[in-house]
Structure 1
Amino acid sequence: MSDTAPSRRLLILSCSMTKRDGPQYMLARDRYDGPIWRTLRRVDPEEQKARVAFLSAEYGFREARTTIENYDRRMTPEIAAAMKAGGLGTRWPLPKTQRHVMPSGEHPGMHIASMTEHGRKPFVEVCLVGSAFYVDVMQHFLDLFQEDGFVTGSAPVTEICAPIGIMRRQMTIWLNRSLQDASGDAGAGVWG
């Protein structure tokens, strides 16, 4: 497997306010229905071009093939700060009470570890897509992923934080670029 194989590329998207109705639990990549997620399903329906994760105010960082319920929670400065302070071990959703019991939820560390075979196959290219709050938290997690060996230190990182139409277009270019330029002729960019 080459370093540019789709399984070695990581695309992290912000969640979407628009969500599909359906069963109580659906894959996140199917539940989220905003323009970025519809573009992803059209351009890379089977994750052949990159592995996909998401960042959500409700669920934190998770793989996009994780099942989630429908919810309504927006990212706030306070939630973003709590995610950054909690690092890779804080479970999301946060507990609703302060009781001293094992917290429910899942943490970012378990998802990134699973996606990289516990660091044996670290990501070598990353793209972050979302609004400023989300990209800020994504970048923080990316730094931690690199420290722990889940993303190589030399991985090119593309950040896309712009109006929705531009984000859709730039994400499509990023998804399609690496497969066409697997020889390494093209580099990553920073857009926004």
Structure 2
Amino acid sequence: MTNPLSPRRLLILSCSMTKRDGPQYIPARDRYDGPLWRTLRHVDPDERKARVAFLSAEYGFREARTTIENYDRRMTREIAAAMRAGGLGTRWPLPKTHRRAMPSGEHPGMHIASMTEHGRKPFVDVCLVGGALFLDVMRHFVDLFQEDGFVRGSSPVTEVCAPIGIMRQRMSIWLNRSTGDASDDADDGGRR
């Protein structure tokens, strides 16, 4: 069960090179095991302080409860550019061939729509955590989320890109911060 804050605050984390072994598919928030993800599990183990999504070179933008396989793919300038160019409709992972009429994979638009009840409960506070390439793509997606009503246009957007110890600290501070507007469940259609 989530508290009233979780549907209205969004934390987007970059993936982690360090991953836990286990079954073939497990939720991303359990698979990723880098310092930021361990901090997240410690500070907000039940996702009561914010909804969590991730950005990955393999899977693109997805909700952190999405099950993923163990993989090894690094974010590159080319992948980041392809994500920005593809917007909210490009499916990840990208198909290996062009033979399919309908590409496999999932696209960012379906995840953000699900997380906001199709824009009926837009996010009002956002935090982006990751390296420079990841933040570039995250910023672009947040702009698109705002255009489509998934993030309220007036929402504060906190960016965290620093040495890992500082990133862990700033992410924890953001998660533990209480915002009155974040629990505002007024049915305003998400636009103010």
Aligned amino acid, residue 43 of structure 2: V
SS at match of 1:126: strand
Give distance in 2, aligned partners of 1:70 and 1:45: 21
Give distance in 2, aligned partners of 1:51 and 1:175: 10
How much does 1:42 deviate?
0.2
SS at match of 1:89: coil
- Matched with 1:46 is 46
SS at match of 2:87: helix
Q: Deviations over 1:40-65 (max 9, x none)?
A: 00000000000000000000000000
Q: Is the 8 A contact 2:124 2:181 kept in 1?
A: no
- Say if 1:109 and 1:183 are closer, same or farther in 2 by CA, change over 3 A: closer
Give distance in 2, aligned partners of 1:5 and 1:176: 11
- Matched with 1:132 is 132
1:1-192 equivalence runs, <5 A: 5-178=5-178, 181-182=179-180
How much does 1:182 deviate?
3.3
Give distance in 2, aligned partners of 1:5 and 1:32: 24
Give distance in 1, aligned partners of 2:163 and 2:101: 42
How much does 1:78 deviate?
0.1
- Matched with 2:189 is none
Give % identity: 82
How much does 1:9 deviate?
0.1
Q: Deviations over 1:70-116 (max 9, x none)?
A: 00000000000000000000000000012142100000000000000
Give distance in 1, aligned partners of 2:180 and 2:112: 24
Give distance in 1, aligned partners of 2:126 and 2:67: 23
Unmatched segments (≥5 aa) in structure 2: 183-192
How much does 1:177 deviate?
1.0
How much does 1:183 deviate?
7.4
Unmatched segments (≥5 aa) in structure 1: 185-192
Give distance in 2, aligned partners of 1:174 and 1:120: 24
Structure 1 residue ranges (4+ consecutive) displaced by more than 4 angstroms after TM superposition: none
Root mean square deviation, CA, Å = 1.2
